[in-house]
């Protein structure tokens, strides 16, 4: 595949490495080369099978508009833009483009989300209080993390709750720690995912790009990760 990686930061760099290791030809654009998505012209985008975005919340919205408007395929790992999801979905449908988005591309977190759903269902109305804590590196722009918001949504709908509180911590270069706790007067149940590096995110994103390369439509990584 010909892969275009947008963002050459902590995660984008690894995505480019993993894509090359998996035999893909890789081109990377950093912020200086793509101000306001200006590099993403239709003829340029047409030179790639899939575009993968690990940039920043404001940049990704412009990047998605430019790429998806050409009917191309895009994997979006960047978080903090989901209030624009309905617009992105509409664009994908109108242009017959392809989009996989996800707050966390690691398989471990996907399993955690399924376990959280089950935990919510089984502890519904059983006297438990749910809470979430997340810890990330000090340069993270969005807070709480996209993954913590996804976890909260999963638990809210499984346990029938209006709110699940989230505490966010910023510390050193933490790659990503998410802890879901259910506490009652009698006991406590804790589900933890700790990323030791960003490798799992990068591998998941490249696998998602391979999966998307033969498809069109809009998919949450949660729905498709078992197919890769």
Ligand X SMILES: NC(=O)C1=CN([C@@H]2O[C@H](COP(=O)(O)OP(=O)(O)OC[C@H]3O[C@@H](n4cnc5c(N)ncnc54)[C@H](OP(=O)(O)O)[C@@H]3O)[C@@H](O)[C@H]2O)C=CC1
Query: Going by DSSP bridges, is the β-strand pair 188-194/73-76 parallel, antiparallel, or unpaired?
Result: unpaired
E strand intervals along 54-200? 73-76, 98-101, 129-136, 166-170, 177-183, 188-194
**Cβ proximity to ligand LZUJQKHR, 34 vs 103, nearer residue:** 103
Active site residue 83: no
Outline where 22-106 has alpha helix (H).
42-45, 57-68, 85-95
Cα atoms in the Cβ-side hemisphere of radius 13 Å centred on 73: 21
Catalytic residue among 27, 83, 124, 136: 136
| Binding residue for ligand X, selected from 48, 77, 110, 193, defined by CB under 6 A | 77
* Residue 228 DSSP code: -
The enclosing H or E element of 26 equals: strand 25-29
Interface with ligand X includes 8 (CB under 6 A)?
Answer: yes
- The one of ligand X, ligand LZUJQKHR, none whose footprint includes residue 120, by CB under 5 to 8 A per kind, is none
| Binding residue for ligand X, selected from 26, 66, 105, 151, defined by CB under 6 A | 105
Catalytic residue among 8, 140, 178, 193: 140
Active site residue 32: no
Query: Going by DSSP bridges, is the β-strand pair 50-53/73-76 parallel, antiparallel, or unpaired?
Result: parallel
Interface with ligand X includes 211 (CB under 6 A)?
Answer: no
- Contact region with ligand X (CB under 6 A), list: 43-51, 64-72, 73-81, 119-127: 73-81
**Cβ proximity to ligand LZUJQKHR, 63 vs 145, nearer residue:** 145
Torsion, CA 111, CA 150, CA 208, CA 205, rounded to 10 = -100
List, by residue number, the catalytic residues.
136, 140
Interacting residues with ligand X (CB under 6 A): 6-12, 29-31, 34, 37, 54-56, 59, 63, 77-80, 102-105, 142, 198, 201
């Amino acid at each position: 595949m010909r892969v275009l990686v947008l963002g050459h930061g902590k995660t984008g760099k690894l995505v480019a490495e993993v894509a090359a290791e998996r035999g893909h030809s890789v081109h990377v654009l950093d912020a200086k080369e793509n101000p306001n998505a200006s590099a993403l012209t239709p003829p340029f985008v047409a030179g790639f099978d899939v575009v993968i975005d690990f940039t920043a919340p404001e940049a990704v919205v412009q990047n998605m508009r430019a790429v998806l408007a050409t009917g191309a395929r895009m994997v979006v790992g960047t978080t903090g833009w989901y209030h624009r999801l309905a617009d992105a979905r509409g664009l994908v449908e109108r242009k017959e483009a392809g989009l996989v988005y996800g707050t966390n591309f690691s398989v471990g977190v996907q399993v955690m989300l399924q376990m959280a759903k089950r935990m919510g269902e089984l502890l519904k109305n059983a006297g438990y209080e749910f809470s979430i804590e997340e810890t990330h590196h000090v340069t993270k722009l969005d807070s709480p993390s996209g993954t913590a918001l996804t976890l909260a949504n999963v638990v809210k709908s499984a346990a029938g709750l209006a709110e699940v509180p989230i505490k966010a911590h910023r510390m050193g270069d933490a790659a990503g720690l998410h802890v879901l706790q259910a506490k009652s007067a009698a006991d406590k149940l804790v589900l933890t995912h700790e990323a030791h590096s960003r490798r799992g995110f990068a591998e998941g994103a490249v696998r998602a790009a391979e999966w998307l390369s033969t498809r069109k439509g809009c998919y949450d990584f949660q729905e498709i990760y078992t197919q890769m």
